[in-house]
Structure 1
Amino acid sequence: MEQIPITKQGYAALKKEFERLKTIERPENIKAIEVARAHGDLSENAEYHAAKERQSFLEGRIGEIGYKLGTAKIIDPETVPKDCVRFACRVLVENLDSGEKIEYMLVGADEADIKKGKISVSSPLGSALIGKKPGDEAIVQAPGGKRIYEIIDIL
């Protein structure tokens, strides 16, 4: 079985969402279905159909998160070697076109949040950075054209 790398914080956030879906949102949805059923004719009951669609989404998300939690490999960013860019490390890069220096942390897709400086290892930039060392260049094909980043430091 393939293990999915995740940080401790990412695991905790997924676990929290999993518990919320199971203990709060699922029971609320069940009540919504019961209330909508009480309104009669189900074939023309928009509330009932919306609640059933929500139920389908919730069950799918619960299953997805349950799988991810079950196959998670928790990585502590503090223990990650800093010899090259890898999952859970923080890296300082310079966009060679603009001269802008940016710090990113490489995380899994569920944890990615560009506003917090967290990019997915499977994103174009994240995958271009993996395995690089300070002084190396990473070339990323972006929608606006090719971008070149230099790895300044692994933090």
Structure 2
Amino acid sequence: MERVANAIVALRRNPHNRAIQRYIYLVGDHELTPVQVDILETVVNNPGQRMNELADALGVDASTVSRTTLPLVKLGLIKRQSDASDRRLTMMVPTEKGRKQARTIMESRRTMMYRVQSHLPQDRLDAFGELLEAYIGAVNVEGTRILKELRGRR
């Protein structure tokens, strides 16, 4: 177990991994953060979400979404729009520039993943994919348990 935990931390802190992320997340002179990319992709895939819906979808609080969307609005990637049924509520919608940037990020990510994976034999990639899917399932089980526990504390 220690080996897996150490490998995950090493991957997250790896300067080469960070360079790949910079390459993929660059918008002009501005580098998006992973959370900003998550918000952009979520808004592009589900336009018109309210701030609280977006926060729930990403597992963060509404103030984080509000603060994190400001640079995306300034860059012209998303825009805030009043909800027609309740003017007090704000919805997030992608701009054409935002949709294009999200496509560019997805394509760059896919290309980079193929390039990285090309260094590994197919049988190891198959095994890694299977183990990674199982690991994600375990994270979901434990994360669900923790979310229930946290809600119970309120």
TM-score, normalised to structure 1, is 0.24
Looking at CA atoms only, which structure, 1 or 2, has the larger radius of gyration? 1
Larger relative contact order, structure 1 or 2 (CA cutoff 8 Å, min sep 6)? 1
Higher helix share: 2
Higher strand share: 1
TM-score, normalised to structure 2, is 0.24
